[in-house]
Amino acid sequence: MLKAEREEKKIKRLFQTVRALCILFLIFGSVMGNEPKITVDVKQVEDFGFQFQQMAQEGLRTTAETGEALLYEEVPKVTTNLAQGVSHSIDYPNLRAELSISAVSRQVGDEGGLLHLPSGKTREISLRGRPAFNYAEAVARGTGVYGPRGAPIRPVSAKGLLIPVSSPPTRDGKPESYITSGGQAYIVRRSIKGRRPNPFDERAAKRLEEKIPAIWDAVVEAFANQEQQSQ
């Protein structure tokens, strides 16, 4: 019995090291880079032996799965694109897990549009295509004056920016010019301020950090019980 108690204490001491390392290497995307992702690295436990490797892998798996669920809860759900793009990957040999999110806008080619003038007259026009892009980072970090660049968004070569609206615009009760294309109405602006950041990845990472002690407590307790039962 004394031997079993000593082994359990040894495992728990090693576990305290792993838990500290796991918290230490819980890296927020906002700190280490611009991509909205969370990385957990417990590679430093590799010298503790095969049994401890197993425990580290189980803890890493549970941490990654919990993190994915938290990230899913935190992403904005104006559409389902961001939520559907949440995923995790685990590199078991290197004891590293990564939570990531991807949401790609639809690519639009050159197309025709209809310019609606305040007078009620219309004119056919050509609209430049828009490439697909991953906008998860734009949502998390903000854009324009609210984003990393801190400057309004302006077109590089086009005459203006198309801003979708739900109905024909008016100003002071009078109709404004607008464009329709593909069933969507747009107003044209030479620049826009952008959108404020919604750091969903930081919120998820903070919540995951708070849960790590309980996750690893449960993992080490399960392994300690297995060790006792095998003796």
Residue 94 and residue 11 share a domain: yes
Backbone region of residue 150 per phi and psi (left: phi > 0; alpha: psi in -120 to 50; beta: other values)? left
Residue 145 and residue 41 share a domain: no
- Better-scored residue on pLDDT, 65 or 94: 65
Residue 129 and residue 78 share a domain: no
Measured between alpha carbons, how far is 159 from 197 in angstroms, rounded to an integer?
27
- Residue 96 phi/psi, 5-degree rounding, is -140, 135
Residue 96 and residue 15 share a domain: yes
Residue 21 and residue 89 share a domain: yes
For 175, the domain range is: 111-189
Kindly tell me if the per-residue pLDDT of 28 is higher than 50: no
Residue 66 and residue 40 share a domain: yes
SS3 182: coil
Residue 206 and residue 177 share a domain: no
Measured between alpha carbons, how far is 104 from 106 in angstroms, rounded to an integer?
7
Residue 125 and residue 184 share a domain: yes
Measured between alpha carbons, how far is 112 from 148 in angstroms, rounded to an integer?
34
Residues above pLDDT 70, as percent of the chain: 75
Buried-state track 116-133, b at ≥16 Cβ within 10 A, e below 16: beeeeeeeeeebeeeeee
Residue 214: how many other CB atoms lie within 10 Å:
10
Q: How many domains does the chain have?
A: 2
Residue 210 and residue 182 share a domain: no
Dihedral (Cα; 137, 21, 90, 211), 10-degree rounding: -70
How is residue 95 annotated by DSSP? Answer: T
Q: What is the per-residue pLDDT for 33?
A: 42
Residue 121 and residue 10 share a domain: no
pLDDT band at 29 (very low <50, low <70, confident <90, very high): very low
- Residue 89 phi/psi, 5-degree rounding, is -135, 145
150-162 pLDDT, tens digit per residue, is 999 998 877 888 8
58-85 pLDDT, tens digit per residue, is 888 998 999 999 999 999 987 788 888 8
What would the two tokens of residue 49 be?
A: 């032996």
Residue 131 and residue 86 share a domain: no
Residue 130 and residue 155 share a domain: yes
